[in-house]
Structure 1
Amino acid sequence: MFQLCYASQSTSTAENLLQDLRNILTEARNANTQHQVSGVLCYAEGYFFQCLQGDE
Protein backbone atom coordinates (compact mmCIF):
# COMPACT_ATOMS: atom_id res chain seq x y z
CA MET A 1 0.00 0.00 0.00
CA PHE A 2 1.27 3.46 -0.94
CA GLN A 3 0.26 6.69 0.82
CA LEU A 4 0.68 10.27 -0.36
CA CYS A 5 -0.24 13.36 1.69
CA TYR A 6 0.10 16.98 0.69
CA ALA A 7 -1.18 20.50 1.36
CA SER A 8 -2.00 23.20 -1.17
CA GLN A 9 -3.51 26.66 -1.24
CA SER A 10 -6.80 27.34 -3.01
CA THR A 11 -6.86 29.78 -5.92
CA SER A 12 -10.67 30.00 -5.96
CA THR A 13 -12.41 33.28 -5.42
CA ALA A 14 -14.96 33.48 -2.61
CA GLU A 15 -17.74 33.60 -5.22
CA ASN A 16 -16.57 30.41 -6.95
CA LEU A 17 -15.39 28.41 -3.94
CA LEU A 18 -18.50 26.30 -3.32
CA GLN A 19 -18.87 25.31 -6.98
CA ASP A 20 -15.14 24.59 -7.25
CA LEU A 21 -15.32 22.32 -4.19
CA ARG A 22 -18.29 20.47 -5.73
CA ASN A 23 -16.35 20.02 -8.98
CA ILE A 24 -13.30 18.69 -7.12
CA LEU A 25 -15.46 16.23 -5.19
CA THR A 26 -17.13 14.93 -8.37
CA GLU A 27 -13.81 14.53 -10.20
CA ALA A 28 -12.10 12.90 -7.20
CA ARG A 29 -14.90 10.38 -6.65
CA ASN A 30 -14.76 9.28 -10.30
CA ALA A 31 -10.96 9.13 -10.51
CA ASN A 32 -10.52 7.43 -7.14
CA THR A 33 -13.04 4.72 -8.02
CA GLN A 34 -11.45 4.16 -11.42
CA HIS A 35 -7.94 3.89 -9.95
CA GLN A 36 -8.93 2.07 -6.74
CA VAL A 37 -7.64 4.89 -4.57
CA SER A 38 -9.10 5.96 -1.24
CA GLY A 39 -8.41 9.04 0.77
CA VAL A 40 -9.55 12.18 2.48
CA LEU A 41 -9.65 15.81 1.37
CA CYS A 42 -9.97 18.58 3.95
CA TYR A 43 -10.48 22.26 3.25
CA ALA A 44 -10.13 25.08 5.78
CA GLU A 45 -9.25 28.77 5.63
CA GLY A 46 -8.09 28.69 2.01
CA TYR A 47 -5.99 25.51 2.23
CA PHE A 48 -6.46 21.89 1.20
CA PHE A 49 -4.92 18.89 2.92
CA GLN A 50 -5.22 15.55 1.16
CA CYS A 51 -4.11 11.99 1.85
CA LEU A 52 -4.47 9.31 -0.81
CA GLN A 53 -3.94 5.59 -0.39
CA GLY A 54 -3.71 2.80 -2.94
CA ASP A 55 -1.39 0.66 -4.99
CA GLU A 56 1.66 2.52 -6.24
Structure 2
Amino acid sequence: MQQLPLGNIVLSVAPDLMNLLTSEERTLDIVLRNGVETLKTSDVKEILEAVIQRSMNHSLYQ
Protein backbone atom coordinates (compact mmCIF):
# COMPACT_ATOMS: atom_id res chain seq x y z
CA MET A 1 0.00 0.00 0.00
CA GLN A 2 1.07 3.52 -0.73
CA GLN A 3 -0.26 6.80 0.69
CA LEU A 4 0.15 9.95 -1.41
CA PRO A 5 -1.39 13.41 -1.63
CA LEU A 6 -4.03 13.53 -4.35
CA GLY A 7 -2.15 16.32 -6.13
CA ASN A 8 0.91 14.10 -6.58
CA ILE A 9 -1.22 11.29 -7.98
CA VAL A 10 -2.94 13.58 -10.47
CA LEU A 11 0.35 15.18 -11.56
CA SER A 12 1.94 11.81 -12.25
CA VAL A 13 -0.99 10.22 -14.12
CA ALA A 14 -3.24 12.95 -15.54
CA PRO A 15 -1.78 16.45 -14.98
CA ASP A 16 -4.40 18.05 -17.23
CA LEU A 17 -7.01 17.28 -14.55
CA MET A 18 -5.20 19.22 -11.81
CA ASN A 19 -7.26 22.37 -12.42
CA LEU A 20 -10.39 20.52 -11.24
CA LEU A 21 -9.10 20.35 -7.67
CA THR A 22 -9.04 22.97 -4.96
CA SER A 23 -5.83 23.47 -3.01
CA GLU A 24 -7.41 21.65 -0.06
CA GLU A 25 -8.37 18.65 -2.22
CA ARG A 26 -4.84 18.48 -3.63
CA THR A 27 -3.44 17.85 -0.16
CA LEU A 28 -5.82 15.00 0.75
CA ASP A 29 -3.99 11.73 1.35
CA ILE A 30 -5.14 8.85 -0.83
CA VAL A 31 -4.22 5.24 -0.08
CA LEU A 32 -3.39 3.18 -3.17
CA ARG A 33 -3.46 -0.57 -2.87
CA ASN A 34 -1.09 -1.26 -5.78
CA GLY A 35 0.82 2.01 -5.96
CA VAL A 36 0.67 4.85 -8.45
CA GLU A 37 2.47 2.87 -11.18
CA THR A 38 -0.62 0.79 -11.95
CA LEU A 39 -3.10 3.69 -12.11
CA LYS A 40 -4.77 4.65 -15.37
CA THR A 41 -6.37 7.97 -16.24
CA SER A 42 -9.80 6.40 -15.75
CA ASP A 43 -8.80 5.39 -12.20
CA VAL A 44 -7.71 8.93 -11.40
CA LYS A 45 -10.96 10.32 -12.80
CA GLU A 46 -12.90 7.99 -10.52
CA ILE A 47 -10.88 9.13 -7.50
CA LEU A 48 -11.38 12.78 -8.46
CA GLU A 49 -15.11 12.27 -8.81
CA ALA A 50 -15.34 10.78 -5.32
CA VAL A 51 -13.19 13.50 -3.74
CA ILE A 52 -15.08 16.35 -5.42
CA GLN A 53 -18.42 14.81 -4.51
CA ARG A 54 -17.27 14.41 -0.90
CA SER A 55 -16.14 18.04 -0.81
CA MET A 56 -19.45 19.23 -2.21
CA ASN A 57 -21.46 17.21 0.31
CA HIS A 58 -19.25 18.41 3.15
CA SER A 59 -19.71 22.07 2.20
CA LEU A 60 -23.50 21.72 2.20
CA TYR A 61 -23.47 21.08 5.93
CA GLN A 62 -21.34 24.07 6.89
TM normalised by structure 2 equals 0.35
Relative to total residues, which structure has the larger helix share, 1 or 2?
2
Q: Greater RCO between the two (CA within 8 Å, min separation 6)?
A: 1
Bigger Rg, structure 1 or 2? 1
